[in-house]
Amino acid sequence: MFVYYNFVFNTTSDFLQGHQRLTVDEARKGLLIFESIPLRYIQPDFVNAVTISKQTNMYAYDAYFIDCAIRQKAPLLTLDRKLKIAAQSLNVKTMGV
């Protein structure tokens, strides 16, 4: 199990905003792979996430993912450099794609 951070949104957003990081075929392939991954949605501990947000100087939204990774004892899958650094500062294992 791993906690992922906004992969679908970031992938399609980059493509649609014209950043041209991905071709249409690459975006389609990535989305098909993502859809094949079995996911379990986990409610964050919002009180703890606010504490993490303050500790790491991150938005609470980002801290929700760190909170879930900590509580699930799972690595955080992210392409967000700032989120990765914050998670690692709290001894959360991170993974890139």
Give the rounded percent of residues in the chain with a pLDDT score beyond 90: 46
- Mean pLDDT score of the chain: 82
For 57-74, write each residue's pLDDT tens digit. 999 989 999 999 999 999
The pTM (predicted TM-score) of the whole model is 0.67
Predicted local distance difference test score (pLDDT) of residue 82 = 93
Say how far apart CA 22 and CA 44 lie, in whole Å. 31
What mean pLDDT do residues 74-81 have? 89
Class assignment of domain 3-95? alpha beta
Give the pLDDT band of residue 42 (cuts 50, 70, 90).
confident
Whether residue 95 contacts residue 77, with contact meaning beta carbons closer than 8 Å, is answered with yes
Which helix (H) or strand (E) is 25 found in, with range? helix 24-35
